[in-house]
Amino acid sequence: MSFETPRLFEFRNMGDRWCELVRYLRPDDAEITEVNVPPLWHFRKVRSIAAKAFRGVVHLRSVKLPDTVALMDIGVFEDCRGLENVELPRGLEITNSMFRRCNSLKRVVLPDSIVLMRGNTFFECAQLEEVVLPRSECMLYDGVFDACPKLGSVVFPDGCKATFVGKAFRDCPLLPPELTMYMLIGANDLEQPFNYNAFFDWDTALRGDIFELALKHNSFVHVSKPDLFRNIIDRGLVEQLALAEGMIDRALRETLIDYSAACGQTEITARLLGKNNVGAEKSIAEKIDEMFDL
């Protein structure tokens, strides 16, 4: 059943030419499963939707918003657990916790007009499987897609220039490591022009699958080599050290030998020294102790 009459909504005048949808008036009516928000109210364009205007309306399955809407406040569709389909307006510029816990939402196509996606836009959308990002420059803030366990596809169409500010995809186990790397550190040799993320996380960057991809795509160019290898040594990541040894020059090697020995990472120190314990009379630890008078 579809309704397009303004009697379903409360509006308020925001000036001579536009108005805001304040709230949906029939939240408990189980017979209404589809609504179309009108583009005009009293000859004024519906330009914005107020915070939590549809919050907790569990019976709605489909909502169509007019292209006149450019602004949507916090939590417009929060806890709309039955919502399966939303046609977002082509003029929408900003999202903000819009679909928190919309547990039936499976696919979302974001309009090209979006320039900013604030945190928790799709927080805990349990059935969300695919998101198509805008064909434009947009900024995705920390936590945009947090805790979406079925999210396995994020589409970057031609022209998409996504800037990740923070960890946009926490607790999304089905996403490929490539996407985790892109949002974390950027990729310099790929077609998509991802920007550097200032919320850098070494534990993620040095994760085995992520680290190999980052080396492959030369994605550590913004990180100083001493910082990179100090973090490898701090975590005792011998395999990662082996993968990245080609980046170590003589001066850096000497610095890292001193640092790893001081940290007690004898296996890494031995590798940097080129020592091999096979068939040796003294242990690696003893050789290191002698070299540094420890």
What does 84-99 look like in DSSP terms, one character per residue?
-EEE--TT--EESSTT
Q: Within 10 Å of residue 52's Cβ, how many Cβ atoms?
A: 17
What does the pLDDT read at residue 187? 66
Q: Mutual orientation of helices 208-216 and 177-185 as an angle, nearest 10°?
A: 70
Structure tokens at 247: 């980046």
pLDDT the model gives residue 6: 44
Give the global pTM: 0.73
What is the predicted pLDDT for the residue at 222? Answer: 77
pLDDT of residue 150: 96
Cα 95 to Cα 73: distance, rounded to the nearest angstrom: 7
Positions in the chain short of pLDDT 70: 1-6, 187-198, 275-294
Residues 6+ apart with CB under 8 A from 276: 270
The amino acid at 292: F
**Could you tell me whether strands 18-24 and 9-13 are parallel, antiparallel, or unpaired per DSSP bridges?**
antiparallel
Locate 258 and state its tokens. 């001193």
pLDDT score, position 2: 44
Sign of CA dihedral 242, 244, 245, 248: negative
The answer to whether 123 and 98 are in contact (CB under 8 A) is no
Q: So what's the pLDDT on residue 3?
A: 43
Helix (H) or strand (E) holding 138: strand 137-141
